[in-house]
């Protein structure tokens, strides 16, 4: 089963910069195929992502008015012979970036959430009275909001 990474950008130079980066040889050496989406494919996918981005920014501005979303990263993974794709949408804000500007990079998000210094109001897993981790109600609130828009 080939592993694939789909690449798309809001302008052609971003794709060129990516293809010239050190990431490409690493992916290719790992046996991962790089697929650059056509403009039509990007537009079809992009309209749905754009709608989610608008709704997410609206929701976020009411929940975290002092820390608006600056950028929404979109990461796609293709995992099978069939057309099966995972799309991860990762919002970036100043607060979530911390003191180090490189912490704003989308691929470091999961590492930041492991630190005690990660802001409590952004956590999706909380401890119940017995000390067990449970999903915070704000996750369901966000999903309900996005479904309703």
- The pLDDT score that the predictor gives to residue 10 is 58
Task: Give pLDDT tens digits for 47-74.
Answer: 888 888 889 999 989 988 998 888 777 7
Is the predicted pLDDT of residue 22 greater than 70, yes or no?
yes
**Sequence ranges of the domains in the chain:** 37-148
Q: Encode burial over 34-45: b for 16+ CB neighbours within 10 A, e otherwise.
A: eeebeeeebeeb
Using a cut of 0.75, tell me whether the model's pTM lies above it: no
**Residue with the larger pLDDT of the pair 140 and 4:** 140
Task: Give pLDDT tens digits for 86-144.
Answer: 777 878 787 766 556 555 555 566 677 777 777 777 777 788 889 888 888 888 888 88
Non-local (6+) Cβ contacts of 3 within 8 A are 30, 31, 32, 33, 78, 79
- The pLDDT score that the predictor gives to residue 130 is 92
């Amino acid at each position: 089963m080939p592993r694939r990474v789909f690449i798309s950008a809001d302008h052609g130079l971003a794709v060129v910069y990516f293809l010239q980066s050190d990431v490409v040889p690493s992916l290719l050496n790992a046996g991962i195929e790089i697929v650059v989406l056509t403009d039509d494919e990007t537009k079809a996918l992009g309209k749905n992502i754009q709608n989610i981005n608008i709704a997410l920014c609206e929701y976020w501005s009411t929940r975290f008015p002092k820390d608006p979303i600056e950028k929404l990263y979109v990461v796609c993974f293709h995992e099978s012979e069939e057309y099966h794709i995972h799309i991860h949408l990762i919002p970036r804000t100043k607060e979530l970036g911390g003191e180090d500007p490189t912490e704003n990079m989308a691929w470091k998000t999961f590492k930041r959430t492991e630190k005690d210094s990660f802001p409590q109001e952004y956590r999706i897993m909380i401890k119940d009275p017995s000390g067990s981790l449970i999903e915070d109600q704000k996750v369901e609130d966000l999903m309900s909001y996005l479904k309703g828009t």
